[in-house]
Amino acid sequence: MLESGKKYFGEHYLDILKIHKGDKVDVLDKCTRDLIAETYDGITTNQLRNVFSEIKGTTDKNKLKLKRHRLAYVIARQVGRDKVEKAQKLLLLIDDLIKNIQSDDDVEGFQHFLESVVAYHKYYNDVVRANEKLF
């Protein structure tokens, strides 16, 4: 499941943690959009925002790693749901990125990434729902 999430980023996967430092912002942004376009309906906006709110104020890598239990809880809540694979693809990728954080600077890059995940999730969720009502 994790590998299918990583495929969106290819060789740029760990560059996600340096998104705020590098010149790959556009590439990583497109990869993030593509991932969310496929997985947005696997997890609710509230669940994703709850994960984000747990993480957004954390600036220390060790404290962030201690919050992985929250992801485990959200992943477990998806079992038995229609779109469990989509949710797990996204959440396992987020968890793997947390495991790969090596510095407090990586935490900042991760937070930028997670913020874009929440924003694109909201966008795709609202756009698709609005379009479904049109037809």
pLDDT in tens, 2-29: 787 899 999 999 999 999 887 899 999 9
Examine the pLDDT at 112 and tell me if it is beyond 50. Answer: yes
So where are the chain's domains? Answer: 2-134
Amino acid at 31: C
pLDDT of 135: 42
The structure's pTM equals 0.87
Q: Distance between CA atoms of 132 and 83, rounded to whole angstroms?
A: 18
- What is the pLDDT confidence band of residue 87, given thresholds at 50, 70 and 90? confident
